[in-house]
Amino acid sequence: MLATPALLMVAEAPGGDLVLMLVACGDTPEPVAPVEVAAEPAPASAERRPGGAEVVKPAERDRERWGAARCNDGTPFAYTWRRGAEPTWVIHLSGGFFCDDARALCSERRPRLTTTVPEADGAGVRARGAGVLSPDPAVNRTFASAHQVDAHYCSSDLWLGDTVERRSTTGDPELGWYFSGRENVRVLLDALARLHGLDDEDDRTRVLVVGSSAGGAGVVGNLEAFRAALPRTAAAGRLKIVLDGSWVPDLPEDQPLPDAARWGPVHPGCDRDLRARGLDPRRCVVGKIWWPYVAATGVPVLVQISGVDQTQAPVFGIDTPEERQTWRARVRAELSALPWVYSGATAYHVVAAHESFASAGDGAPSFREVLDRFWSGAPSERVMFGYPD
């Protein structure tokens, strides 16, 4: 059986992200995403050691160019980078729910999800990444030697906030908060190119973008930014996407939706089209609503989602056996239209940057095996296990 990811909860709607593509976690009705890449302080030379990484805070390196990349409280957005031995890149947008000051109050966010990392810019850390972020080839045979980038989520907006000014919120009634997720993604990509050598002109460059929980929403909403930063790589089919624990099945019309678009559109094209048709743009959080826009780009996408996602079910009030059965059937039906799928019927959340990365499912291959085939360009496949016949 696929191991159930250990999720941190804080009186939240379950464990990892509200999932909106939903997705992330925080405090109070916000599921806290599984710790995807923990890091511990290490000597400054750690980046040169096996598994060593460097903390990067772009705003502190070039305030004029990158100064607007900020966390909610105004501290600098940060990421860790581990140098690779080849021009392959794994870029991970982490999760942590979100807040909309309606169903989820920003004042109840966990502090680590609203501020920068404690280490100084340039500090060496010993990354203890799991799954696709692991530097151990015994665990992560395909990507252990890649450049590994783990972007710290601290904007509480599903990486979708489209302003760089403070906005009114319960998080800080006096000063307000920054909800600048899109700017953080833009700066991340620019800094990777300018500081670390992410080179779209190099025909050897290959990029895997992984969005975990709330980070999955961020990948969908910022897909055009990735394509704009890597046009040649994307056109050649060397840009690929993993959406891990962020697919939201369609919901009954009377089911209230979290306002995933509170700080910026979930997907700009979807948001624009639904508004033009007089429909609720919050519907863009539903997988089958945004999927046509993503599929139209031609970028290969692997979707991983549980049949009864451990964080989504409580958020949407899926409590009884009957409700869980209906939810599972809806997930299964929607995934049947996608080319690349990994889905177990049991309750879990994310696997890509989790210890369960290489664990076999119920009579099915591990996620690692499917990801390896996806990455190598094998024919598409839908691995769905544990579902009733």
Q: What is the full per-residue pLDDT of the chain (389 aa) written as tens digits? A: 444 443 333 333 333 343 334 333 433 333 333 333 333 333 344 444 445 899 999 999 999 999 999 999 999 999 999 999 999 999 999 999 899 999 899 999 999 999 999 999 999 997 768 999 999 999 999 999 999 999 999 999 999 999 999 999 999 999 999 999 999 999 999 999 999 999 999 999 999 999 999 999 999 999 999 999 999 999 999 999 999 999 999 987 677 788 899 999 999 999 999 999 999 999 999 999 999 999 999 999 999 999 999 988 888 888 899 989 999 999 999 999 999 999 999 999 999 999 999 987 778 999 999 999 999 999 999 999 999 87
Q: Evaluate whether residue 20 is within a structural domain.
A: no
Q: Evaluate whether residue 259 is within a structural domain.
A: yes
**Residue 42, domain extent:** 37-385
Which positions ≥6 away from 313 have C-beta within 8 Å? 14, 319, 324, 327, 347
Q: Evaluate whether residue 173 is within a structural domain.
A: yes
Q: Which H or E run contains 304?
A: strand 301-304
DSSP class of residue 20 equals: B
CA–CA separation, 243 vs 347, rounded Å? 17
Q: Evaluate whether residue 272 is within a structural domain.
A: yes
Sign, CA dihedral 164-213-374-83, equals positive
Q: Evaluate whether residue 26 is within a structural domain.
A: no
Q: Evaluate whether residue 10 is within a structural domain.
A: no
Q: How many domains does the chain have?
A: 1
* Beta-strand relationship, 147-151 and 177-178: unpaired
What is the per-residue burial (b if ≥16 Cβ within 10 Å, else e) of 149-172? bbbbbbbbbbbbbbbeebbebebb
Closest of 83, 82, 56, 86 to residue 69, by C-alpha: 56
Q: Evaluate whether residue 52 is within a structural domain.
A: yes
Q: What is the CATH number of the domain that holds 335?
A: 3.40.50
Residue position matching structure tokens 């085939």: 373
Q: Evaluate whether residue 181 is within a structural domain.
A: yes
Residue position matching structure tokens 């972007």: 151
